[in-house]
Structure 1
Amino acid sequence: MKRAMDYVLGTAVFLILLIIVVSVTWQVLSRYVLGTPSTVTSEIARLLFMWLALLGGAYTFGQARHLAIDILPLALNGRSRQLLNTLILLIVAGFAFFVMVWGGWQMVSRTLASGQITPTLRLPMGYVYGPIPVSGLIIIFYCFIFLGRVWLNPKSEGGFTIDPQQAPAPQERD
């Protein structure tokens, strides 16, 4: 299930980045070579950048490549490390749910209800804020995967390793 999510999310992030590069390249060419700047491409790039940043952040979290201060989890062993990593994942999942999913959905639904649209493309502004709850759901999905690793394979590095079979065993304390 995680591999499927990784593949879909990685492909989506790649395609979004590709569209942004093509859009910005066309913007530059149309402005400086053709002399008539395209107004649509700059808005496309701005909208897709929101999706790229949030989906890319969720993907990075799922790959355990996010920025983390891990001095305390690495200093602990055994049950204390397992409990601390569980607490960390529950805090991350709580933030993702309450701020990103619930709060993000409130913002999306209010914006859609207000009828606001983007200036050039005339798309509902709720689509601009759509990646907030979507990426929150993806982060929660990855939190459950990591929680499973923490509890089913306690010798892994807190469940945050990509392949728990290759995780080094924790060092014994004297």
Structure 2
Amino acid sequence: MKQALDSLQRSVIVVVFVVLVICVSWQVITRYILGVPSTITDEIARFLFIWLALLGGAYTYGQGRHLAIDTIARSLTGRNRLIVEACITVLVAAFAACVLVWGGLQLVFQTLSAGQISPSLRIPMGYVYCAVPISGVVILCYAVSQLITLARGRLPDAITQDVPPVE
């Protein structure tokens, strides 16, 4: 499951990043070379950056490269290490479920029901905000994968980078 999610995440992130670079480049060309700035590229770039940041953050969590204070966890070995890592993963999953998925869905539904649309593109802002619950679901998938690995008595690959194996 994790490998398929990793592959999908990488593909989506690369596509969004490429489109973002093209969009920003076009904005620069139209503004400074053609002298007629594009009215929609600024908004497109802003929305793409939101999606890139949230999906990139979820991918980073899945790869174990997120910002973490892991001094205590790294100092432990064996069963104690597994327990601490499982507790941390459960806390991350709870945050993702409550704040990103549940709160994000509330934001999306409220925005869609209010009829808020973007100024230039005239698209419903709820579609832009869908990045929040989607990234939360991705983080939950990674957390479940990590918890399964921990339940089997092993540290997930994302955690074991540059760490000796659990005894």
TM-score bucket (shorter structure): over 0.9
% identity of equivalent residues: 47
> Where does residue 141 of structure 2 map in the other structure?
141
Quote the offset at 1:104 in angstroms. 0.5
Partner of 1:60: 60
Tell me the C-alpha RMSD between the 2 structures.
Answer: 1.7
Higher RCO, Cα 8 Å, sep 6+:
2
TM-score relative to the length of structure 1: 0.90
Question: What is the distance in 1 between the residues matched to 2:164 and 2:78?
Answer: 13
The aligned runs of 1:73-92 (5 Å cut-off) are 73-92=73-92
Alignment partner of 2:65: what SS?
Answer: coil
Unaligned runs of 5+ in 1: none
Q: Paired residue for 1:168?
A: 164
Please name the residue that 1:110 is paired with.
110
Contact 2:16–2:52 (8 Å) recurs in 1: yes
CA–CA separation in structure 1 for the residues paired with 2:87 and 2:102? 21
Q: Indicate the SS of the match to 2:40.
A: helix
Shift of 1:162: 3.8
Letter matched to residue 164 of structure 2: P
The TM-score normalised by the length of structure 2 is 0.94
Tell me the number of residue pairs that the alignment of Structure 1 and Structure 2 aligns: 166
CA distance in 1, matches of 2:166, 2:145: 20
Q: For residue 40 of structure 1, what is the aligned residue in structure 2?
A: 40
In structure 2, what residue type is equivalent to 1:65? R
Q: Matches of 2:139 and 2:159 in 1, distance apart?
A: 18
Aligned with 1:39: secondary structure? coil
